[in-house]
Amino acid sequence: MNGYFITLEGGEGAGKTTVLKSLRNELQEKGFDVLTTREPGGIDIAEKIRQIILATEHTTMDGRTEALLYAAARRQHLVEKVFPALRKGKIVLCDRFIDSSLAYQGYARELGMDEVFSINQFAIQDCMPDLTLFFDITPKKGLKRISSNKDRERNRLDLEEMHFHEKVYEAYQLLVEKFPERIKVINADQPLERVEEDAITTLTRDLKEKSIELR
Ligand code: TMP
């Protein structure tokens, strides 16, 4: 596949969804063909799975069921949307991907990062991101940000205790250590315009280093 696959990761309230739009605009202005999407979701079947996973009334959902549903949504999203775009040479910007499963289900739910990686390997067939931007902000500050945004929908994972979000944050630090080539850290604990600037600079540098020509 000759496209370029970029994922955005971070805990709740890290600002990645907003930054994704600026990155898309920036890349489009430079002449790239860009597809933006999100997980879980992005296509009809995966959006339906998203509703099942995130419904606040599904309090009895087993951790492994949750991990398998994320992986199933991921698989369908890749096949229907991401693979075709990468084959056409597009830049794909995806809000969350496998690192979310490793952090939330593997580490915070304590299912094991290796175990969760292996069920995901079945789903993704080696399609790892070329670049991942991790938006770094402590859960306390991130959750404070979302609590002041009244329009944001609250999902089942938002309602987890602080300890869970702390573990998610810890897991991302481990992932950054484990994949230093792929995962670049963006300081998300600054005004949004600065976060956007840093993300654009990091992305542009990465594309240049990998000789993906900016037109
Ligand atoms: P978001 O669209 O607000 O990021 O919500 C998706 C939620 O799902 C968020 O709490 C992170 C969580 N999630 C996982 O736990 N595992 C995953 O693999 C993905 C993609 C998301």
pLDDT in tens, 62-87: 999 999 999 999 999 999 999 999 99
150 pLDDT higher than 80 = no
Query: Phi and psi (nearest 5°) for 31?
Result: 95, 5
**Is residue 101 lining ligand 1, measured as CB closer than 6 Å?**
yes
Torsional sign, CA 156, 158, 164, 168 = positive
**Is residue 39 lining ligand 1, measured as CB closer than 6 Å?**
yes
Q: What is the pTM of this model?
A: 0.96
214 pLDDT higher than 60 = no
Query: Phi and psi (nearest 5°) for 22?
Result: -65, -40
213 pLDDT higher than 80 = no
Indicate the length of the chain as a whole number: 215
Query: Which one of 54, 104, 135, 175 would you pick to mutate in the ligand 1 pocket, going by the greatest count of ligand atoms within 8 A of its CB?
Result: 104
**Reported confidence tier of residue 158, pLDDT bands at 50, 70, 90:** confident
Average pLDDT over all residues of the chain: 95
Average pLDDT of the residues in 113-123: 98
